[in-house]
A and B are shown apart, each in its own frame.
Chain A
Amino acid sequence: MPTNTKWWNGGRSPFNISYGKVMMWYFLMSDAFTFGAFLISYGTIRFSVNHWADPNHVFNAFPFAGHANLPLVFVSLMTFILIFSSVTMVLAVHEGHKMNRKGVEKYMILTILGGLAFLGCQAWEWTHMITGDHAVLVNGQIEHWGTTVTRNPWGVEVMHNGAMVATPGPIAFGGYFFGITGFHGFHVFSGVIINVTMLIKTRLGHFDQRGHYEMIEKAGLYWHFVDLVWVFVFLCFYLV
């Protein structure tokens, strides 16, 4: 397009983008602030206490691996699942530009499968944490706790009867972990619902009748945003 285009003289979109896509971008921006507020609040509390749970000890399990110590492995798998489903989503958008219905269908199915795989991983991880069985010294007695929004068995370790045992940690840990990963997981879930809706509409030929696949682009923006948020959740909860 010419470089001296007068974007604000009327008669055209000053952002050269359709109304629906602009509004999706603004929604995602507000959603970014919501997630940002959650993550920064978590960071504030974490900075304000002397001891915080070490993610390498909390998140070290893998399905069917028993009690093997595998820090970061399972969450890396979840990260790669989400990156890959982002790739299949952008490929679906690409096929949409080419008006290739079969291609859009194929990549939307792969994207939905990726989303479901991620949700399955998260369900396993939550179950593993909630039903965990960690020795904690509470009022001089050893109790066995899982990690919930009211119980944090990952506090400071103290000497008790000649062995090191953890004490209860700040309950904010479980609240932030389940709150933020849950809010993200809910976004993944709604993203899967949106993608299934788009797949059905593609199969019914709605976008061919309309003459463009812009709805796939909007669903794609949402789905990539979910991946984007996970990148930061991965950083804040698992890596640092």
Chain B
Amino acid sequence: MSSQVSSPEITHAQEHASGTSRIWKTFWVLSFLTVIELSLGYFLYFYHGDLTYGFILGTKLLIAALTIAKAYYIVSIFMHLGDEIRNMIMTIIVPLMLFIWFITAFLWDGNSWKTLRNTDAGSRPAQTEQSHTPVIDKDVKK
């Protein structure tokens, strides 16, 4: 094949000779996953009033998991990272593992701020129904 970059330092793998069927298959997988995500999004939109908080959170986590699956297909097939050697895959994937801590810690922190604010830093119990009705004093004088 003439696709070789003329360098003795690189061995080109055979997958470059394959046809386009894998690309189109990936396209349909990505489209399918997106349609599932949208279905779940519409499910939440139409039924969120009837669902418990935990169920809504679980559905959102499922949507996030489908997004991770889409990311896998884009990076592995479209960006051909899956065709590279293990050394190359690891030098990209291992640093990105930081995101696991990054997401957990920061969302935890955000939730902690909310709790501190709603309880005046733990000095009173949080109201079950969050009261954020602003005091509209100018209404009163009408």
Contact = CB atoms under 8 A, between A and B. Distances in A.
A214 B5 contact: yes
Nearest to B63: A239
Contacts, number: 181
Instruction: Assign chain B's interface to a size class.
Output: 35 or more
Nearest to A95: B20
Contact of A79 (B7, B34, B63): B34
A151 interface: no
A189 B3 CA distance: 29
Contacts of A7: 85, 87
A197 interface: no
A49 B117 CA distance: 9
A160 B136 contact: yes
Contact of A18 (B5, B75, B114): B5
A194 interface: no
A239 B37 contact: yes
A91 B118 contact: no
A171 B21 CA distance: 47
B51 interface: no
B55 interface: no
B78 A86 contact: yes
Contacts of B71: 228, 231-232
Interface stretch (A36-44, A112-120, A174-182): A36-44
Contacts of A16: 10-11, 84-85, 87-88
B124 interface: no
A140 B137 CA distance: 8
A18 B11 CA distance: 10
Contacts of B9: 11-13
Interface string A147-178: 00000000010101000000100000000000
B10 A156 contact: no
B60 A240 contact: yes
Nearest to B35: A76
Contacts of B132: 50-51, 156
A233 B74 CA distance: 15
B105 to A, nearest CB: 9
B94 to A, nearest CB: 10
B24 interface: yes
A18 B84 CA distance: 11
Interface string A64-96: 000000011000100110011011011101101
Interface of B: 1-11, 13, 16-17, 20, 23-24, 26-27, 30-31, 34, 37-38, 40-42, 45, 60, 63-64, 67, 70-71, 74-75, 77-81, 84-85, 87-88, 91-92, 95-96, 98-99, 102-103, 106-107, 109-111, 113-114, 117-118, 130, 132-134, 136-139
20 contacts: A11-B9, A12-B11, A13-B7, A17-B84, A18-B5, A44-B107, A46-B110, A83-B31, A87-B23, A89-B78, A91-B23, A94-B20, A140-B137, A160-B136, A212-B3, A212-B4, A224-B78, A227-B78, A228-B75, A239-B38
Q: Which 10 A-B pairs have the closest CB atoms?
A: A140-B138, A47-B110, A44-B110, A48-B113, A15-B88, A48-B110, A97-B3, A50-B130, A240-B60, A12-B9
